[in-house]
Structure 1
Amino acid sequence: MKALRKLLYPFSILYGLITFVRNKCYDSGIFKSYDFDIPIISVGNLSVGGTGKTPHIEYLIRMLQTSKKIAVLSRGYQRKTSGFLIAKDGLNAFELGDEPFQYFSKFKDVIVAVDEKRVRGIQQLLKLTSPPDVILLDDAFQHRSVKPGLSIVLTPYDDLFVDDHMLPMGNLREYKSGSKRADIIIVTKCPNYLDSIECQNIKNKIKPTVNQELFYSKITYQYNLQGFDNSININELHRYEVLLITGIANPKPLLNFLTQVNAKCTHLAFSDHHNFTSSDIISIKNTFSNLTSEKKIILTTEKDYVRIFASLEKCYFIAIETRIINNENIFIQKIKDYVG
């Protein structure tokens, strides 16, 4: 692995130079960043892979939806459509993208839109007969054509951006110094308890500026596994043999959780945003049929469920939420003060 990293190092230097020049062009005004007369919150990260953007967007929706009309604007990664599109009944994950479809399915009072050009997407949202009060930008930290009023950067507890390297040697999309553009940094996927010493150690590594605030969050798993027409309580999961199907960047937290609840698991891992083919479904069915227990289920993530449940029997998903585990009241107040 070290030898491979050494081989990739020159390409990381080149990629880093390209992103550095691009950021300098935005900083100097050579490339234009657009302001909008509406509260815009960007949620993103410096690295590729799973930092927890989706549950944090949902956290913000839950926080604000009772008092504000919210729009979520996403690129719609790997969707089969292009241009500006507003989610509506009849559209699916292939047309909207996994995360936008999930937002639309869960929050019917929220405007969910996709556009690979964020400026155009915001302009279209503001032209609506009933425009939103606040816009949440999903995975937009590197989309510098839009200047958000509040920028949140996420970094996983077990893979902090300060310990990473530029692509392709590592997973960083831009240099670590780019984090200084954020107003808030959240260390995500933390263990249930962090003592003050560990929090301080992480803070010393990240070195937030005097204008930045640092928070910590954790994943919480819902107690009921949801199927098409029934559910299974998580406390009953140990009675089943589980075939776990994941198409996410980092399934490790889910695997750890299933171990904690004594689930007997066989894991089939696919790449992030994987498009499940007919041969994949056949492979899943064959693996499932080979499980020896009388009581057995297929378990997947909420994002993957919408792609595969129609093709599989006994398929369930486990929903997740995120929680701020330090100074949550301060975090909530900061968001509410910004949106007004």
Structure 2
Amino acid sequence: MSILRKLLFPFAILYGIIIRVRNYLYDEDVLKSSSYTIPVICVGNLSVGGTGKSPMIEYLLNLLVPHSKVATLSRGYGRTTKGFILLNGLENASEVGDEPLQFKTKFKDVLIAVDENRQHGIQVLKDENNAEVILLDDAFQHRKVKAGLNIVLTKFDSLYIDDLMLPAGDLREPIAGVERAQIIVVTKCPKLLSEQDAKKICEKLKLKNYQKLFFSYIDYSQMVISSSGSKSITSFEGTKITLVTGIANPKSLLHYLDEIDIKYDHLNYPDHHNFSKAELEQIAQATIIITTEKDYMRLKDKIVHPDLYYLPIKMKFISNTSEFDGMVKKFIE
């Protein structure tokens, strides 16, 4: 632990007490939560930072859209607008947030909405848009809504069990909060995770009997995509590209590019970064730009560049895919 985090530890204890009291009041029904007559699935985490919520939402959309009228509801982090917006795909990232715009770009016929008031957003999607299933993106701490199925994500190299409360650590709430989840997914694992390592994590997390544990990894596409088409990422071998990231933790992406021997200069920005004019000018000077899909949503309307590409990703399970799919499908029946 850094010296700064040690100094902040007393504040973490105080914050933890406040959140414990808040959770207790919701658990005892002193503070009220809303339940719904349609299936509501929440994808969230205990910590701040990127655990892979967007790839999980996209996985669930691919799983459920063929069978039901599915909607997603996000807060729309960093947007300049307020209230409920049902995306039509013509918005820009500053209006609705980069992740909802990413969802709408890939799933054009799906109801993709943003609303900082999740209760109101669910009501509008259900009553005015006839949604049959609602996926809540990053709403695990939003206790005013009681989802029927909670999926909590935790990163392989940064498990919630090893973390501390904010501001000394990255936990949004005490570890006991994970007991509200029925499914826990360890994300961003090595693709060839050993059974021994998986067993160690399972023992470490000490899950309840009603909880199921799964392991997943990020599968990077072999193709990069631009506004004019796509090409193999290996076509850039021998050429130094400029990598632009504004995500919580680009470590796995850097590892992938190193693994396939792509040389790059890395321009690294904070998660959901709002690029300044000077930063956009610097990025635009690059010969070849590769970025994440989320960052592309924020860059594509601000930079006119013939070689601006994004690298798509998917979340895949290391094993027991059919068991996970079955649990989700059974819930919405």
Q: TM-score range by the shorter chain?
A: over 0.9
Residue 262 to residue 312, structure 1, CA distance change in 2 (3 Å):
farther
Which residue does 2:312 correspond to in 1? Answer: 319
Deviations 1:18-54 (A, max 9, x none): 1111101101111101110000100000000000000
1:239 aligns to what SS in structure 2? coil
Aligned partners of 2:72 and 2:137 also within 8 Å: yes
1:256 aligns to what SS in structure 2? helix
Which residue does 1:119 correspond to in 2? Answer: 119
Which residue does 1:303 correspond to in 2? Answer: 294
Q: 2: CA distance between counterparts of 1:182 and 1:250?
A: 24
Give the CA deviation at 1:312.
4.2
Give the CA deviation at 1:231.
1.9
Structure 1 stretch 302-311 or stretch 64-73: which is displaced more?
302-311
Trace 1:212-291 onto structure 2 (pairs within 5 A): 212-286=211-285, 288=286
1:317 aligns to what SS in structure 2? strand
Aligned partners of 1:237 and 1:261 also within 8 Å: no
1:102 aligns to what SS in structure 2? helix
Q: 2: CA distance between counterparts of 1:230 and 1:188?
A: 30
Paired residue type of 1:184: I
Which residue does 2:17 correspond to in 1? Answer: 17
Deviations 1:267-313 (A, max 9, x none): 01000000111111122235x2xxxxxxx511101011122234142
CA RMSD of aligned residues (A): 1.1
Trace 1:44-123 onto structure 2 (pairs within 5 A): 44-123=44-123
2:237 aligns to what SS in structure 1? helix
Which residue does 2:8 correspond to in 1? Answer: 8
1:68 aligns to what SS in structure 2? coil
Which residue does 2:195 correspond to in 1? Answer: 196
Q: 2: CA distance between counterparts of 1:312 and 1:276?
A: 15
1:216 aligns to what SS in structure 2? strand
TM-score (ref. length: structure 2) = 0.97
Paired residue type of 2:99: E
Q: Alignment identity in percent? A: 48
Q: 2: CA distance between counterparts of 1:115 and 1:312?
A: 30
Which residue does 1:292 correspond to in 2? Answer: none
Deviations 1:156-195 (A, max 9, x none): 0010000111001110000011111100000000111112
Aligned partners of 1:43 and 1:140 also within 8 Å: yes
Residue ranges of structure 1 left out of the alignment (5+ in a row):
289-295
Q: 1: CA distance between counterparts of 2:89 and 2:310?
A: 21
Question: How many residues end up aligned between the 2 structures?
Answer: 331
Deviations 1:78-106 (A, max 9, x none): 11111111111432211111111111111
Deviations 1:54-79 (A, max 9, x none): 00000000011111110000111111
Please tell me whether residue 43 in structure 1 is matched to residue 40 in structure 2.
no
Paired residue type of 1:67: H
Aligned partners of 2:89 and 2:108 also within 8 Å: no
Of 331, 334, 340, the match for 2:327: 334
Q: 2: CA distance between counterparts of 1:84 and 1:282?
A: 33
2:173 aligns to what SS in structure 1? coil
Runs of 4 or more above 3 Å deviation: none
Q: 2: CA distance between counterparts of 1:18 and 1:273?
A: 28
Aligned partners of 2:89 and 2:101 also within 8 Å: no
TM-score (ref. length: structure 1) = 0.95
Please tell me whether residue 174 in structure 1 is matched to residue 192 in structure 2.
no
Q: 2: CA distance between counterparts of 1:325 and 1:69?
A: 28
Structure 1 stretch 89-98 or stretch 177-186: which is displaced more?
89-98
Q: 1: CA distance between counterparts of 2:168 and 2:215?
A: 27
Q: 1: CA distance between counterparts of 2:71 and 2:218?
A: 24
1:218 aligns to what SS in structure 2? strand
2:295 aligns to what SS in structure 1? helix
Which residue does 1:293 correspond to in 2? Answer: none
Q: 2: CA distance between counterparts of 1:309 and 1:95?
A: 14
2:201 aligns to what SS in structure 1? helix
Deviations 1:213-252 (A, max 9, x none): 0000000011110012032202223132110000000100
Aligned partners of 1:152 and 1:182 also within 8 Å: yes
Q: 2: CA distance between counterparts of 1:73 and 1:8?
A: 34
Residue ranges of structure 2 left out of the alignment (5+ in a row):
none
Q: 2: CA distance between counterparts of 1:192 and 1:78?
A: 32
